[in-house]
Amino acid sequence: MKQSMQAEFNKFIVEMQKRMDLGQEKYGDNYNSKNIKKELLDEAVDLSNYAFLLHLKAQQFNEKIS
């Protein structure tokens, strides 16, 4: 991995840890619900929604710089 890419990856890891810590503070040990099947499906849909919204933002960005 290129050094500049590694530096950005390291920043990303730090941000992931911060978000994980915030989630733990907010939800405590109830982070994993008792209904894990529903939780997994909900998370998959949420992830898909975020990916779609990121796609739209990338399109808007590309239109602005073109």
Opening angle at CA 17, ends 14 and 41, nearest 5: 130
Residue 8 CA to residue 2 CA, distance in Å, equals: 10
pLDDT in tens, the chain (66 residues): 899 999 999 999 999 999 989 988 888 877 666 788 888 899 999 999 999 999 999 999 999 998
pLDDT for the residue numbered 16: 95
